[in-house]
Structures are given as C-alpha cells and as structure tokens.
Structure 1
Amino acid sequence: MNSLLLKNWKLILIAVCFVLIVGAWRYDHAAQYKRGRESMAAEISSRLKDSAIEKAKQDRELSDAYQTGKAVREEKERVRYVQVPKIIEKTTYRNVCLDSDGLSVINAAIADGN
C-alpha cells in the first residue's frame, strides 16, 4: 500500500489540491449566499416597516376625517331633533301639514343626504 502511495504521490497530491479548491469554492459561495440572504431579509424588513408606518399614518388621517365628518353629521342631526318638535307643535290654520320652516328643515335633511 505504501509503495502504491509513493508511486502515485503526484496524482494523489493533485486530487487533494482539487478537493481543497472545490471545498473552499463551495464554502465561499455558501458564505456569499448567507450574506446576501441576510442583506435581503434586512431590506425587506425595512420596506415592510416603512410601509406599515405609512399605512398607519394614512389610517390616522382617514380616521380623523371620518371623525370630523361624523361630528358635523351628529351636530346637524341634533339641530333637527330640536327643530322638528318645535315645528310640529306650531299650530297651523290651514290644511297644510308643514309650514315653510318645516319644509326648509326637510329639504336641508334631503340635501345632506340623510
């Protein structure tokens, strides 16, 4: 066995060098892949965080606009709840159910879309 190794020592040395080179090359590519994967994961995470922050900002703005509109609608409704009983309690001396004040309240409610 030793004589076989001694005879072919150049071939064995070339094979060992080839195996070392291939192993180093594979290790380097695995390290590059790992670095690239971690870099892309960090970039994707950053993009997701930025988009979540932007979405939260848009949601806040939409919520503020909705709350403002809701407050305006509720105030108009409160005014109607106060005005309508007053108009209903007025005495009318004709065969008209609503006078001009009542008609203006109804038309305003229709114009507001309620």
Structure 2
Amino acid sequence: MIYNYAFTALITLIAAAVFAVGAWQIQNWRFDAKEKQRIEAQLEQRRTDEKAASAASTAFEKDRSNNENRTRTVYVKVDKIIDRPVYRSVCVDADGLRLLNGAIGRTDDAGEPGSPLPGPAAGG
C-alpha cells in the first residue's frame, strides 16, 4: 500500500515536471512571438526613417544646387554693377589727394604735446 502512494506521488511529480516544462516552452514561444513582432516593428521603423532621410537628402541637394546657381548669378550681376574705373597709374583720387595735402600742411607735430602741463595752483 505504501508503494501505491509512492508510485502515485512519483507519477504526480513526473506529470508536474512535464507540465512545467510544457508551460515553460509555451512561454518561450509567446516571448519569441512578441520579440519577433518587436524586431519587425523596429525594422519597419528603420525603413521609414531611411526613406525620410533619403527624401530629406534629395531635397537638400536640390536646394543646394539651386543656391549654387543663384550664387553664380549674383556674381555675374555684381560684375556688371561696377562703374568706377580701376586705378591704373594713380593710386589716390582727388579726395584722397586733398586729405594728404591737408595733413602735410599742418604745423603741429604729433610727437610733441600741444600745450604744457598746468603747474601747481597758486594760493591753496
């Protein structure tokens, strides 16, 4: 009779172990399914981000090429706006020559002070 209880207990333990292993395996399958869904969602997000980055890069390159064309156009316009002749043999124009003559005509020396320092005050 004790053998019957021991045998029943052993069968129960084996059944519990098999049930636990089965439950563990089912949990692994569920986890793997969720992990697979997470990875697929992550890959889809990465593809979306790459498409957005590609579109942004394409738009940036198009804008950059348009800006380069505008810059070239501005340079052409600047070359056409210049109307003063380039000085060839004369380095100073009439206004500059007047300023130089005025500086030469001065009598005060920049290295000498214009007036002496005041002395001590009288009666203080």
| Fold match by TM threshold 0.5 | yes
Q: Which has the larger radius of gyration?
A: 2
Counterpart of 1:78 (choices 72, 90, 115) is: 72
Q: Residue type of the partner of 1:69? A: D
Q: CA RMSD in A?
A: 1.6
Over residues 80-113 of structure 1, what are the superposed CA-to-partner deviations in whole Å (9 max), with x where a residue is unaligned?
A: 111102211x249xxxxxxxxxxxxxxxxxxxxx
- Deviation of 1:41 after TM superposition, in Å, equals 1.9
1:60 aligns with 2:49: no
Counterpart of 1:18 (choices 12, 15, 19) is: 12
- Deviation of 1:27 after TM superposition, in Å, equals 0.6
Structure number having the greater helix percentage: 1
- Deviation of 1:18 after TM superposition, in Å, equals 1.5
Match of 1:28 in 2: 22
Equivalent pairs counted in the alignment come to: 85
TM-score under structure 1 normalisation?
0.68
Distance 2:80 2:18 in 1: 92
TM-score under structure 2 normalisation?
0.63
Q: Residue type of the partner of 1:49? A: L
Distance 2:5 2:31 in 1: 39
Match of 1:98 in 2: none
Greater RCO (CA < 8 Å, at least 6 residues apart):
1
| Runs of 4+ off more than 4 Å | none
Runs (5+) with no aligned partner, structure 2: 86-124
